Amino acid sequence: MTKTVEQREKDLTEGVTWVVATAWSQAVSKVQKDLNAPIFVKSGNVAALADRYDKLQNEFNRNLGKKKAAVDLFGASESQLDKMDKETTGLLKEITDIANDESASVKKQGSGDPQAVITEWENSLKACQGQSKANKAVFDRWMKLDANYEKVMSDAIGKVKKEFAAAQAGLNGTNNQLNALEGEMRRAVGAYQNTATEMDRQDIAAAVRSFLAIFAKA
């Protein structure tokens, strides 16, 4: 039965596994010598196909593990982003401190004297200019930090997507091979069964047919 990658993943997630080579060996253990005869061998080597199937299942599992592990790569970038978040908090505090310091530097005259009012406004202007200059220095650092933040995120996403895509491609390719191998084994078993029936060897026919039950587990 042809399986999609998703179906095969679901089977494995739910603990449905196959050891096909062992299943074949157990199914035909009593008639193995008979199956070594050329009349059966010409229909295909089920044992070899089953062994290859199991190896491909292991490869499918490895790719599935790589697919799940791909998102773990975000972890390294998260620590970098956390550090940058703290730097952003520090910059915000600098902006607040600059505003408070400049505000405190302006002395309120409160006398109503025209010259004092002008002086107060001039001092306020100097404080505002000093604050703007200091703010610009902080904002320049902030913009650079934001650009680095975006780059870390973009690089992380790109790396994870690349690993994820490679694992998915491996799953697709391996799944196609597994489906093809199952088809080959079914055809070979069918030929074995037909040959055994023609020989009036129902014991052999029943033995090889029982092997196919391994694919009915899911």
Query: How far, in Å, CA of 33 to CA of 36, rounded?
Result: 5
Cα dihedral value 129, 133, 134, 139, nearest 10: 130
Q: Which amino acid is at 115?
A: Q
Q: Alpha carbon 72 to chain centroid distance?
A: 7
Query: How far, in Å, CA of 156 to CA of 159, rounded?
Result: 5
What is the domain partition of the chain in residue ranges?
A: 5-71+163-216, 78-151
Instruction: Pull the structure tokens for residue 115.
Output: 């010259």
Contact 20, 181 (CB under 8 A): no
Contact 108, 120 (CB under 8 A): yes
The pLDDT tens digits for 49-77 are 999 999 999 999 999 999 999 999 998 89
Query: How far, in Å, CA of 41 to CA of 197, rounded?
Result: 16
Per DSSP, the residues of 143-202 read HHHHHHHHHHHHHHHHHHHHHHHHHHHHHHHHHHHHHHHHHHHHHHHHHHHHHHHHTT-H
Output the pLDDT for position 115.
Answer: 83
Residues, the chain, total? 218
Model pTM score: 0.76
In whole angstroms, how far apart are CA 78 and each of 61, 73, 162? 27, 9, 18
The pLDDT tens digits for 87-138 are 999 999 998 888 888 777 766 666 678 888 788 888 888 888 888 898 899 9
